[in-house]
Structure 1
Amino acid sequence: MLFAVSMTFIDQTIVSIAAPSIIGELGLSSSGMQWVVNAYLLSLAAFFALGGRLADVLGHRRVMLAGTVVFVVSSAICGAVPSGGGAQAWLVIFRAVQGFGAALMFPAALAVVVEVFPVERRGRALALFFGVSGGLTALGPILGGWLTSWTWRAIFWVNVPVAVIAIVLTLMARIRNHPRPERIDWTGAALAAAGMGLSVLGLQQASSWGWDSPLTWLCIVGGLLILALLVVVELRTEHPLITMRIFADRAFSVDNAVLFFAMMSFVPVFFFASVYAQVALDYSPNQAGLYLLMFFAGFGPASQIGGRILDRRGARPAMIQGTLVGAIGFALWAAHITDLSLGDQWVYIVISGAGIGLLLTPASTDAVNRAIGRSYGEVTGITQTLRNYSASVSLAVLGTILLHTLTDRVEETLTQHGVPAGEAHSSAVRISQSITGHGGGSGTPAGVDSTVLQQIRMDFAEANQPVLYGMAAALVVAFLCARLHPGTRVTAADEAPAGPAAGKAADAADGGGATGGPVP
């Protein structure tokens, strides 16, 4: 399962590194490249809920394999894009298909891990799962930079051998498939995809369209209204896509609230820290990846500790400790972000990563453990949907704060160096957009005097301070949510079986195939 999901994590960051090469060879515009990056994330957010439900109905192993095949085939097709006028449409379409494959694969893969480990050992198992898969996100920039030096197409083709290994290992593991003969709520699936897709689209495009654009708010508000309609429909549906009564479980709701606010810090930190390292510290993309590894130096070990705390004491202590440590770490990191040296910052980066590592596994695992009737795929789909939506909100809001703060500071710098006021403002906007531009690549602006450039690097470091303080504030809210957790634990006796029908269907589906039982 780790081999399978590693592709989805790496793909979140690897494409942005190759963006300049893709733009140069295929002749795409920066906005067109942004759509190539966003299409994957948009599709991922839109179809997570459906992917989780399909995993429960058709069987976790079957949907995981199907999602892997869809993901890797579309990835290979992306790498084979022909030059010409249709290149952008080709990439956008198959990146969206790739996101759909990931939305099938990830909930099913996580559900497999949950299903084969007993509840008292899931903390340690999922700590390894989230620790390794999360750490792979930092490899995206490093791997992307190395592969792009050969050909940018390799960033898509590298998924093929990884997928082959994942499929072979899955078949060798002889994991049982446990389908459940229930209806698929296609109405709910359509509403979920439309609501999530439309609102995330508005958040993604807010920086391009502007927060004062009616189109931005039409997408965001329209998407939220559709999601509100989804809740009404699901409450009246016999076999809903999302079983709304699970939110009546206070612990489940708190787990998801903690994840929602914590992910405002965890997911965006890859983008902001990577660009900061390249602009303020003048690192190469590969060196920026190493800068991110400082975060995972704390995240990896702490995730193992968080998993063990979950197994022994429940999720509440780990979530409280993790949110508190993370908030302190991000606040200290923000205070020292203007020290343009990794040596002055690495301790606070490690503390920040440790805080996220402590809380991620307990919150995610405790939420999945509370699935009704072992609907692990459905619950995983819910938690991943909330995590992705949270990341979209955070990237949009914090990205806007970064852009406006940087523009103001660069304008002040240019004015101090004798640039006329009107020209200083337009130049500051252009420079700021060049540095923080999504999809079209990021980096220090060309054609700027070295003295001014050094000050712009400091301006960018200072502009990142409110971003990191915002991440710390989000973790403070997560801390307050964590304190509301009742502290109850799920035991093996609490887990209700999926039902006799599911068991019979599973036996029939396995036939002479997967005869091995769950991994002890």
Structure 2
Amino acid sequence: MRPPGPDGNMSHVAHDRNAPEATARRAPEAQRDAGTGAAHRTLSLAAVLFAVSMTFIDQTLVSIAAPRIAEDLGLTPAGIRWVVNAYLLALAACCALGGRLAELLGHRRIMLVGTVVFLLAAALCGAVPHGDAALAWLIVCRAGQGVGAALMFPAALAVVGMVVPAARRRRSLALFFGLSGVLTAIGPVLGGWLTTWTWRAVFWVNVPVALAAVVLTLLAHLPDDARRGHLDGRGALLLAAGTVLSVLGLQQAGTWGWAAPATWACTLGGLLALVVFVRLELRTRHPLLGLRVFRDRAYVADAVVLFFAMAAFVPVFFFASVYAQVALGSSPNEAGLYLLVFFAGFGVAAQFGGRLLDRYGARTALRLGTALAAVGFALWAHEMTDLSLTAQWPWIVLAGAGIGLLLAPASTDAAGRAAGTARGEATGVTRTVRGYAAGLGLAVLGTVLAHTTTDRIVESLKDRGLSTATSRELAHGLTGTPAGQGGRPPAGDAASRLPPEVLDAVRGDFAEGNRAVFYAMAAALAVAFLCAHLHPGTRRTPAPPPGAGRT
């Protein structure tokens, strides 16, 4: 099988089974392989590794630092969720555009542009000033990081295919993604260590890495592979508008209220934009995304399973980190180790997922992985109010193992299903689906956490003799939901008004809120398990390049 990255992404699709066309494509590829020296190849792969590693570890780094960022800048829980989600939404909205621009303007050029944008945005995130402008500053700069990643990632992966000879490509990609997987697992530990120094370092650490990527890319002298074509500007605008507006409405429902016109205007307006985007793409001669791959039933099953899985997988970094630091009273370093338990199950199971795909096809891995993940998340949620890692760690490992088991086979099978489509279409579609699901999941689950925790705290305070009005005021102050004060009550002031024994009860209430969130994640994975049964079970994995050895 072709080795996937830690997020299940595929960097290439199958060779066309039409022999004449495949031969025609291999001729210039052979010339390119011959002209690419070993030294330049090494520099190019090093440049790609440095560039892409930032996108792999960024989510875990920021999730670990989130509580410290919120405390230092006076952000509400809703505000800090926007800091995390701005990156995911920008990545989802612009990934397809980034891939298309790389084809039109050259992968080397767009990789450099994306890396520089990511570098500047990360530096600005670390330089955010205190004051009322802090939240807007961070959201804009985090979105800038997402745009940079969306430009950089598709181009960087295409560079691997450009510089590595076909016979060595599988082995090189295996090494590349193996190192990337190690970097992803290091993310929680690195984030905890940097946060104990200063939370700003989780952004600044990207600067030297990005500079190294830029220098290596310039030294590699990659060929200019720009080609003529058309850019679907209307499609790009509709996709961005639909993605942002629909998630905006759902995430702000906790602040605006579910009955607010703005909530429904954003949500329905965004969904309408996405519907128009789909209709436009199906009729456009040069679409931004090749949606015709959804005619394949197996591809639909892969995409839907990935959608529900990613709605739990990416948000778990944020919610588990905040839970560990608030409910368990962990330090950032300890929270990093808490997340590392999840990666222990994920990393081991990912190896078995690839073997299952090779031997039995995708359906077996999808069914088994979604089942294990759903059970793992449910049992993890059940033990959350125990406030003990000892009671939770077996289920955290099980949840990670389930995700690791399904993610690579679903993405690999999806890429194989698009063997007859334009190069990279399947990867573009699945990355967009995956990013949108992550942003949507964070928005919905954040609203669930805020409302559940608020209701629990109100009941706890009333049980201790406080009036309903006072209980609600303090509860909204602790959770950051609107209760006067313009929707931004100071959580620190609210906490200072409570005795220690009440704060202990409040931590238990926060654990109850997280239990509801993780039960919702388990429900999403249960839906993914049902969707896995839609897969017809037929096997269609990409054929190896001619002359390639087994790895």
Q: Which residue of 1 aligns with 2:388?
A: 341
- 1:396 to 1:254, Cα distance in 2 relative to 1, 3 A: same
Q: How does 1:491-502 map to 2 (within 5 A)?
A: 491-492=541-542
In 1, distance between residues paired with 2:195 and 2:492? 14
In 2, distance between residues paired with 1:309 and 1:226? 39
How many residues align? The count is 494
1:262-297 CA distance string (max 9 Å, x none): 112111111221121112211112211111111011
1:457-493 CA distance string (max 9 Å, x none): 2222222222222111111111111122223333555
The question of 1:5 aligning with 2:55 is answered no
Confirm or deny: 8 A CA contact 2:412 2:541 kept in the other structure. no
1:31-82 CA distance string (max 9 Å, x none): 7766555443332232122112223444444433331122113323444556
Q: How does 1:211-290 map to 2 (within 5 A)?
A: 211-290=258-337
1:230-278 CA distance string (max 9 Å, x none): 1121122111111221111222211110100111211111122112111
In 2, distance between residues paired with 1:441 and 1:427? 8
Query: Which of 406, 416, 435 does residue 388 from structure 1 map onto?
Result: 435
The question of 1:488 aligning with 2:538 is answered yes
State the shift of 1:229 in Å: 0.9
1:293-340 CA distance string (max 9 Å, x none): 110111111112212333443322221111111111111112222222
- 2:538 partner SS: coil
State the shift of 1:427 in Å: 1.9
In 1, distance between residues paired with 2:382 and 2:134? 44
State the shift of 1:85 in Å: 7.8
Query: Which of 416, 419, 426 does residue 379 from structure 1 map onto?
Result: 426
Q: Which residue of 1 aligns with 2:514?
A: 464
Q: Which residue of 1 aligns with 2:40?
A: none
Query: Which of 194, 198, 203 does residue 250 from structure 2 map onto?
Result: 203
In 1, distance between residues paired with 2:99 and 2:146? 14
Confirm or deny: 8 A CA contact 2:64 2:321 kept in the other structure. no
In 2, distance between residues paired with 1:55 and 1:380? 14
- List runs of 5+ in structure 2 lacking aligned partners: 1-47, 482-486
Q: Which residue of 2 aligns with 1:326?
A: 373
Confirm or deny: 8 A CA contact 1:130 1:303 kept in the other structure. no
In 2, distance between residues paired with 1:446 and 1:259? 43
- 1:138 partner SS: helix
- 1:144 to 1:447, Cα distance in 2 relative to 1, 3 A: farther
- List runs of 5+ in structure 1 lacking aligned partners: 498-516
- 1:47 to 1:136, Cα distance in 2 relative to 1, 3 A: farther
Confirm or deny: 8 A CA contact 2:415 2:427 kept in the other structure. yes
State the shift of 1:129 in Å: 6.8
Q: Which residue of 2 aligns with 1:427?
A: 474
- 1:252 partner SS: helix
State the shift of 1:449 in Å: 1.7
In 2, distance between residues paired with 1:326 and 1:114? 33
State the shift of 1:87 in Å: 6.2
State the shift of 1:110 in Å: 4.0
- 1:22 to 1:353, Cα distance in 2 relative to 1, 3 A: closer
Query: Which of 129, 138, 161 does residue 188 from structure 2 map onto?
Result: 138
1:393-425 CA distance string (max 9 Å, x none): 222222222222222222222122221233223
Q: Which residue of 1 aligns with 2:339?
A: 292
Amino acid at match of 2:434: R
1:197-230 CA distance string (max 9 Å, x none): 2222223322222222211211111111111111
The answer to which of 198-207 and 80-89 deviates more is: 80-89
State the shift of 1:444 in Å: 10
- 1:272 to 1:371, Cα distance in 2 relative to 1, 3 A: same
In 2, distance between residues paired with 1:298 and 1:469? 19
- 1:267 partner SS: helix
The answer to which of 57-66 and 251-260 deviates more is: 57-66
Confirm or deny: 8 A CA contact 2:247 2:443 kept in the other structure. no
The answer to which of 324-333 and 103-112 deviates more is: 103-112
In 2, distance between residues paired with 1:466 and 1:427? 21
Amino acid at match of 1:369: G
1:363-393 CA distance string (max 9 Å, x none): 1222233335574544323212211221222
In 2, distance between residues paired with 1:95 and 1:288? 22
In 1, distance between residues paired with 2:242 and 2:309? 22
The question of 1:158 aligning with 2:205 is answered yes
Amino acid at match of 1:483: H
- 1:398 to 1:312, Cα distance in 2 relative to 1, 3 A: same
- 1:385 to 1:345, Cα distance in 2 relative to 1, 3 A: same
Q: Which residue of 2 aligns with 1:187?
A: 234
The question of 1:67 aligning with 2:114 is answered yes
